[in-house]
């Protein structure tokens, strides 16, 4: 059920967010240079979620199937603890954010900012969660360690696992899974429809023509983590929706992530590089990024063509994915739609 590498990446991300703050800054580090492609522009992803206009009223109890195969009965949803920022985003956007009593360090949007942090990605503290007396815990299939989740369940708290997001096709199923467990299936359908319509509208702004090659780099300079995304990195769906080619996957990288080498970057030959904003900051901004061996030799490095989106939202594949896609398209092609 668990994906060890995904868990490791979540852990590194959580540590980095803890060290640098949870604000999800959209600004590149100082000294990133000037010019239209010298540094990524400020992301247009809002730091707030937009709840549905009509607040739904949960109808409980319900029994639903968890992604780990268990049947979970939810009798109440007054004290909810989501173990990821993505799941928190869904609950808040459904209009039930006032029932969330804690957050994961990756829940960086404004409405959740004052909640206590009790989990850090793949480093769930059962004691911290149980101290809040939750009546429902929402987890990713990458949440862990397993012992902590088992301890929460052993205490009698319902734990619903939701399949980890891997692409745009997961937006609807994840929203409906959470909504079903909260006893608001109609709101889940409404939010799914709204989210998918907005994503489709964002797709219409993608320029037609030659597709640029985009490499997704996962960077954590403080931890000496430098990875290039491959076929299962989770970024491929977003890159393709932006009218581009996933350079890592196209170059034959079958793993989700591979350590960056000059050879791998030269083979991928990206025209642009997609990064998380905190990752970019951790290597010293664009100036530091192009010093990573091999980056300066790529078309992206030579043009300093970097696309940066906040860590806490880039690969969530949730209600703000349309904004993520719009931001990627605007940075990749320029506000005028030209490469």
SS3 string, the chain, reads CCCHHHHHHHHHHHHHHHHHCCCCCCCCCCCCCCCCCCCCCCCCCCCCCCCCCCCCCCCCCEEEECCCCCEEEECCCCCEEECCHHHHHHHHHCCCHHHECCEECCCCCHHHCCCCEEEECCEECHHHHHCCCCCEEEEECCCCCHHHHHHHHHCCCCEEEECCCCCHHHHHHHHHHHHHHCCCHHHHHHHHHHHHHHHHHHHCCCCCCCCCEEEEEEEEHHHCEEEEECCCCCCHHHHHHCCCEEHHHHCCCCCCEEECCHHHHHHHCCCEEEEEHHHHHHCCHHHHHCCCCCHHHCHHHHHCCEEEECCCCCCCCCCCHHHHHHHHHHHHHCCCCCC
Q: What is the pLDDT of residues 220-253, one digit of tens each?
A: 999 999 999 999 999 999 999 999 999 999 999 9
Per-residue pLDDT band for 312 (boundaries 50, 70, 90) equals: confident
pTM of the model: 0.86
More confident residue, 12 or 298: 298
Q: What is the pLDDT of residues 47-66, one digit of tens each?
A: 999 999 999 999 999 999 99
Per-residue pLDDT band for 119 (boundaries 50, 70, 90) equals: confident
């Amino acid at each position: 059920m668990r994906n060890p590498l995904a868990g490791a990446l979540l852990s590194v991300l959580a540590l980095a967010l803890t060290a640098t703050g949870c604000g999800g800054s959209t600004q590149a580090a100082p000294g990133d240079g000037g010019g239209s492609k010298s540094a990524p522009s400020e992301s247009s992803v809002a730091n707030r979620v937009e709840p549905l206009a009509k607040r739904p009223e949960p109808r409980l109890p319900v029994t639903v199937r968890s992604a780990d195969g268990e049947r979970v009965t939810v009798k109440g949803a007054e004290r909810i603890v989501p173990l990821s920022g993505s799941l928190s985003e869904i609950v808040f956007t459904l209009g039930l954010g006032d029932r969330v009593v804690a957050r994961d360090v990756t829940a960086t949007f404004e409405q959740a900012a004052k909640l206590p942090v009790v989990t850090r990605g793949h480093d769930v503290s059962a004691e911290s969660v149980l101290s809040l007396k939750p009546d429902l815990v929402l987890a990713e299939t990458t949440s862990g360690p397993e012992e902590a989740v088992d301890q929460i369940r052993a205490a009698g708290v319902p734990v619903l696992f939701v399949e980890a997001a891997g692409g745009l096709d997961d937006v609807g199923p994840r929203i409906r899974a959470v909504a079903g467990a909260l006893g608001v299936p109609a709101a889940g359908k409404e939010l799914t429809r709204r989210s998918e319509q907005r994503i489709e509208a964002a797709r219409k702004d993608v320029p037609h023509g030659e597709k640029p090659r985009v490499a997704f780099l996962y960077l954590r300079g403080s931890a000496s983590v430098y990875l290039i995304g491959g076929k299962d990195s989770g970024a491929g769906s977003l890159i393709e929706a932006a009218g581009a080619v996933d350079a890592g996957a196209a170059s034959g990288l079958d793993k989700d992530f591979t350590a960056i080498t000059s050879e791998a970057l030269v083979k991928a030959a990206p025209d642009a590089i997609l990064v998380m904003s905190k990752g970019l900051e951790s290597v010293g901004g664009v100036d530091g990024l192009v010093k990573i061996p091999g980056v300066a030799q790529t078309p992206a490095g030579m043009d300093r063509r970097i696309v940066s989106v906040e860590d806490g939202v880039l690969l969530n594949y949730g209600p703000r994915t349309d904004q993520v896609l719009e931001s990627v398209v605007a940075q990749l092609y320029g506000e005028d739609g030209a490469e």
